[in-house]
Amino acid sequence: MRYPTKAVGDGTLVASRIAATAFCRMVGVVGQNNGADAYLHIFELAAVPANGTKPKFSCSIDAARPFTFFLQTPVDMDACCVAISSTQETLTAAAGTPVTIQVLLAS
């Protein structure tokens, strides 16, 4: 099933992005990793969390490649923040990571 979506983000290189500070329906995340292998962490938070925080969703992103993360159906979230991490289980912020991030939300 297709869902009308809006993209939050642009081509700016970032290590994190706040997609929504209130209720949203997340569909997925797309971007380009111009750096080393890393992990995309998705949090149900309105701000970037501290290192050591466990994400709601996580996926690996390969070095120097585009990436996509899509859910089968939109997920209701109280807020949405994504960050690039050097570790899989919990956030270890990868500051200065050359990544573009666009979060797709159902509208």
Structural domain for 86, as ranges? 5-101
How far, in Å, CA of 2 to CA of 78, rounded? 22
Does a structural domain hold residue 106? no
| pLDDT tens-digit readout, 41-81 | 999 999 999 999 999 999 999 999 999 999 999 999 999 99
| pLDDT tens-digit readout, 12-28 | 999 999 999 999 999 99
Does a structural domain hold residue 9? yes
Does a structural domain hold residue 51? yes
Model's pTM, two decimal places?
0.93
Does a structural domain hold residue 56? yes
Does a structural domain hold residue 107? no
Does a structural domain hold residue 57? yes
Greatest alpha-carbon pair distance for the chain in Å reads 37
Bridge partners of 8? Answer: 103
Contacts of 99 by beta carbon, 8 Å cutoff, 6+ apart: 13, 14, 15, 31, 32, 33, 34, 35, 38, 61, 84
Does a structural domain hold residue 89? yes
Number of domains within the chain:
1
Strand order in the sheet with 16-20: 16-20, 80-85, 38-43, 57-61
